[in-house]
Amino acid sequence: MSELKCPVSVLIRDIRTTIESGELNVPRSRRIAEEIQELLGDIAWGRASEAHVDAIQDLAEELGGTTDDRSPEVADLVRSAFADHREIFHSHISSRNCATGDCARLAPAPCQMTCPAGIDIPTYLSLIGEGRDAEAIAVIRRDCPFPWVCGLVCTRPCEFMCVRGRIDKPVSIKPLKGFAAERAMSHGEYRNPAPKPPIGKKVAVIGAGPAGLSCAYYLALEGYAVTVFESRSSAGGMLLLGIPRYRLPREVIDRETAMLKTLGVAFEFNTRFGVDATFQTLKEDDFQAFFIAIGAHLPFKLGIPGETTSPHVIEAVDFLRDVALGWRESPGNKVLVIGGGNVAIDAARTALRLGSREVVIVYRRTRSEMPADPEEVEQAEEEGIGFEFLTIPVGVHDGDKALEGLECLKAELIAADDKGRMRPRPIAGSEFMMEADVVISAIGQQVESDCLASLTTLEWSRRQTISVNTITMETSMEGVFAAGDAVTGPATVIEAIGGGKRAARAIHRCLNQLPQPQFPPVPVRRGRIACAEVPANIKMTIDRPEMPLLNLDRRRTTFQQVELGYAESTVRDEAKRCLRCDICLRCGKCVEICRDKMGVNALSMGYFDFDHPVRTDFRSTAELCILCGACAANCPTGAMDVRDVGTERILSLCGTILNRERLVVCEDCGKVIGTDKYMRFIQKRTGAMPKLVSTERFCDACARQKTAAFSGDKAPV
Amino acid sequence: MVFRQGQKVEIYQKSTDESWEPYMDTYVGLHGVITDPDHTINDPEALVEVSLVDHGTHRFPQDCLRLLDS
């Protein structure tokens, strides 16, 4: 790596080095230095406001006044950087650009950038590849406190952006995380980082779902006294009450939430906000900030006759919650589930496991419009769940004691607007009755806002979710923050975790009068792990593994976990498929140099372009590459590397060995002069020049000595 | 529902929806992938989750998105 030129990057590096060296012994000075580093990070990433400059300088003065021996020196570093390069700091803020490119050099990999929680995926995959599972979990928990949960149920946006997917298939990021978490927990190596000393400030978190727990975790690490108020008797929120146990065992939730208790987070269970604990009473109890993460638990109604009067129509969220809390009775022999999302699939598969003989999902559109995760749909079909597409329920018919059935209409899809959106249109006269013992409605949920009625100045969106600034998760009420499904509507676990983490940072800044960022956070690189050496043929031929599943009979009858996880050897191999995009930025300079300057064109890397990926084959490099090293010399990040090892010259890209050739040495002095291919390339380029020396191989110096014998002075007359 | 998980999209215009925030103006023209479509009621008003190339994952109103390929 070349030297940093940008004063912002230099200052960040110097402060980080000082913090990491442990030379700041006084906790207060270390905290101030970390705050300066974080605000500088905002500037480096173009997410700062002008207020950041003043705030950093104020913090530097505060740091200079602490009793730490090293503090004045660090404060001087900041002062002199701002005195000498003030306009560059302002330029970063106004242009959100770094002229030297140094700040961009820290660019996170696409997978990390995509993760709503900003987890440093390449770093933890590399650690898992080396068998360092506990270290991988520590890296993940810097950004997400629930690696095990996410390793089982994350919707894995990272895999959709995985660059490896442009070559063949994305890396199996989610299951690798799950494996490492399970292994670390099993070996007793899943530990909390040390929290900062208590700072005497109290924060109330309303709701113990993934957003609330994440916010609580990161605030507790900062030294805040956090209390989580939860209306249920245990922590987990939708993780516990909405996701069936065959996808996410309760033990996983309990073990990971228990980590918060050991960190000092207090829980008040069976406590309803607005009833048992109100905003006013909590303020009187010295809570200085509030984080609302109450989720979206109120089901939408179908709006059809008989729905609210029949005891045989139940809501999917209520059904799943009851089963999660221990109810184990079959809802009926024949069950109809209305909806096409993941909740409908979960309800149907749960009913099957409780003993229902026939479970059918009724959906108004076709299979291709189903919004549920395709893997979940496929697993449901394997288990015997039926589907009735293009079917619109129009009424529930109740008999004396049992349900007579669900009256439905067949539908056809028509274009409903100029953008091609297809809408189901009922077909007149197509009424028919579907027999059922019970109907489960799974058409979505909304936020249950009653508990927040006393927060009269809290603004709501037209979607009936809490309005927030999505950068800081601040609501319209000062000191009140919100995230999770209460803000987004029913969304993903990892979004809730990311929102909780963002809110924790914003609450910290709010309570310390620090300026808030103006742009969304850029994820933080947590390390630069050395690349594992993998031959190109191995890199290209390892296939993404299939997930082993529980046998079908058990899937249909028990709540045992369906996905069994990979074997250890599979995990270690799969990690090798990672392209290490945290190091290779895919700038294309290596390809350009090789093709345009050298005229060799040995690099077949078609994965650089998101929109139009073309063929990639790392193996083909060896056919043409002359090992000149021009690609490595021009690589801005050190991803492309050429080095002499023993008697060979090896070219590698992030550890993938693209080419290796035996070295040619000077026949006179023994100095390395390149490879055969390189020598032939040079000879071809200089082919017109007279060959003064025969086919013998000499280095430049020895060649000059040899040719001197034929110089004009000594040539015979 | 127009958008499906895994589809490539472009933020081709600003949205007039209340959920559109000022910082999103800088995203117009960027490409990305639908990572979490409207998972429940196929509501054209629902926000969908999009991962933008080099610019993170956000929820956008659907009127600012268009498919890049089918």
- Write the DSSP assignment of A151-185 as a string of letters: HHH---HHHHH-GGGGTSS---HHHHHHHHHHHHH
Q: Measuring CA to CA, how many Å separate A461 from each of A458, A487, A493, A494, B49?
A: 10, 9, 21, 22, 17
- Residue B57 to chain A, least CA–CA distance (Å): 5
Indicate if the pLDDT at residue A99 is higher than 80. Answer: no
Residues of A in contact with B7 (CB under 8 A): none
Closest-CA residue of chain B to A299:
B40
Worst-scoring range by mean pLDDT, A253-257, A510-514, A569-573, A636-640?
A636-640
Residues of B in contact with A419 (CB under 8 A): 2
Contact A204, A482 (CB under 8 A): no
> Which residue is it, tokens 């987990």?
A236
Indicate if the pLDDT at residue A714 is higher than 60. Answer: no
Residue A620: per-residue pLDDT: 93
CB hemisphere CA count around A245 (13 angstroms): 19
CB distance from A341 to chain B under 8 Å? yes
Phi, psi of A378 (to 5 degrees): -65, -45
Closest-CA residue of chain A to B8:
A611
Residue-wise over A439-464: b if at least 16 C-beta within 10 A, else e? Answer: bbbbbbbbbebebbeebeebeebebe
Among A342, A469, A610, beta carbon nearest to B39: A342
Contact A496, A211 (CB under 8 A): yes
Indicate if the pLDDT at residue A565 is higher than 90. Answer: yes
Q: Which residues pair with A287 in a beta bridge?
A: A202
Nearest CA among A558, A504, A86 for reference residue A323: A558
Nearest-angstrom CA–CA distance, A81 and A577: 42
Phi, psi of A439 (to 5 degrees): -115, 130
Taking CA A699 as the corner, what is the angle to CA A693 and CA A701, rounded to the nearest 5 degrees? 90
CB distance from B23 to chain A under 8 Å? yes
- Interface subset of A 656-695, CB within 8 angstroms of B: none
CB distance from B53 to chain A under 8 Å? yes
Confidence of residue A708 (pLDDT cuts 50, 70, 90): confident
Indicate if the pLDDT at residue A419 is higher than 70. Answer: no
Among A371, A523, A610, beta carbon nearest to B31: A610
- Interface subset of A 559-618, CB within 8 angstroms of B: 610-611
Does an H or E element contain A480, and which?
A: strand A480-482
Enter the DSSP assignment of B36: E
- Residue B54 to chain A, least CA–CA distance (Å): 6
Nearest-angstrom CA–CA distance, A315 and A319: 6
- Residue A403 to chain B, least CA–CA distance (Å): 25
Confidence of residue A1 (pLDDT cuts 50, 70, 90): very low
What is the longest distance spanned by two Cα atoms in chain B? Answer: 30
Sign of CA dihedral A375, A378, A382, A383: positive
A609-632 pLDDT tens trace = 888 888 999 999 999 999 999 999
> Which residue is it, tokens 């090992």?
A627
CB distance from A373 to chain B under 8 Å? yes
Nearest-angstrom CA–CA distance, A591 and A601: 7
Q: Which residues pair with A411 in a beta bridge?
A: A426
Closest-CA residue of chain B to A342:
B39
| Coil vs helix vs strand at A527 | coil
Percent of chain A exceeding pLDDT 70 equals 95
Nearest-angstrom CA–CA distance, A372 and B59: 18
Nearest-angstrom CA–CA distance, A279 and A294: 14
Mutation target for B interface from A114, A119, A501: give the one with most B CBs within 10 A.
A114
Nearest-angstrom CA–CA distance, B14 and A64: 46
Among B18, B41, B45, beta carbon nearest to A443: B41
Nearest-angstrom CA–CA distance, A691 and A682: 12
CB distance from A655 to chain B under 8 Å? no
Residue A696: per-residue pLDDT: 72
| Coil vs helix vs strand at A239 | helix
Indicate if the pLDDT at residue A269 is higher than 90. Answer: yes
Average pLDDT of the segment spanning A342-346:
94
Closest-CA residue of chain A to B57:
A114
Indicate if the pLDDT at residue A339 is higher than 80. Answer: yes
Q: Name the amino acid, one letter, at A632.
A: A
- Residue B26 to chain A, least CA–CA distance (Å): 10
Mutation target for A interface from B42, B47, B63: give the one with most A CBs within 10 A.
B42
Q: What is the mean pLDDT of chain B?
A: 87
Average pLDDT of the segment spanning A382-391:
96
Indicate if the pLDDT at residue A202 is higher than 90. Answer: yes
Q: Which residue has the higher pLDDT, A419 or A301?
A: A301
Residue A348: per-residue pLDDT: 98
Residues of B in contact with A498 (CB under 8 A): 57
| A355: its two tokens | 């003993």
Indicate if the pLDDT at residue A158 is higher than 90. Answer: yes
Contacts 24+ apart (CB under 8 A), A31-35: A31/A196, A32/A59, A32/A62, A32/A63, A32/A66, A33/A63, A33/A74, A35/A59, A35/A512, A35/A514
Nearest-angstrom CA–CA distance, A205 and A137: 25
Across the interface, whether the CB atoms of A611 and B8 are under 8 A apart is answered yes
Q: Which residue has the higher pLDDT, A526 or A435?
A: A435
Indicate if the pLDDT at residue A598 is higher than 50. Answer: yes
Worst-scoring range by mean pLDDT, A158-162, A256-260, B65-69?
B65-69
Worst-scoring range by mean pLDDT, A99-108, A158-167, A293-302, A533-542?
A99-108
Q: Which residue has the higher pLDDT, A97 or B70?
A: A97
Enter the DSSP assignment of A146: -
Closest-CA residue of chain A to B46:
A463
Nearest CA among A555, A477, A580, A626 for reference residue A107: A580
CB distance from A300 to chain B under 8 Å? yes
Q: What is the mean pLDDT of chain A?
A: 91
Enter the DSSP assignment of B18: T
- Residue B62 to chain A, least CA–CA distance (Å): 11
| B45: its two tokens | 């008003």
> Which residue is it, tokens 């990971």?
A256
Residues of B in contact with A113 (CB under 8 A): 54-56
Q: ipTM of the assembly?
A: 0.94
- Write the DSSP assignment of A256-293 as a string of letters: HHHHHHHHT-EEETT--BTTTB-HHHHHHTTEEEEEE-
Q: Name the amino acid, one letter, at A276.
A: D
Percent of chain A exceeding pLDDT 90 equals 75
Nearest-angstrom CA–CA distance, A319 and A323: 6
Q: Which residues pair with A474 in a beta bridge?
A: A469, A481
CB hemisphere CA count around A646 (13 angstroms): 4
Q: Which residues, at least 6 apart from A178, have a Cβ–Cβ distance to it below 8 Å?
A: A147, A148, A150, A151, A152, A565
Across the interface, whether the CB atoms of B40 and A341 are under 8 A apart is answered yes
CB distance from A110 to chain B under 8 Å? yes
Indicate if the pLDDT at residue B42 is higher than 80. Answer: no
Indicate if the pLDDT at residue B44 is higher than 80. Answer: no
Nearest-angstrom CA–CA distance, A496 and A502: 10
CB distance from A417 to chain B under 8 Å? yes
Q: List the alpha helices (DSSP H) in B1-70.
A: none
Indicate if the pLDDT at residue A143 is higher than 90. Answer: yes
| Coil vs helix vs strand at A127 | helix
Q: Pseudo-torsion of CA A89, A91, A93, A96, nearest 10°?
A: -120
Predicted model pTM: 0.88
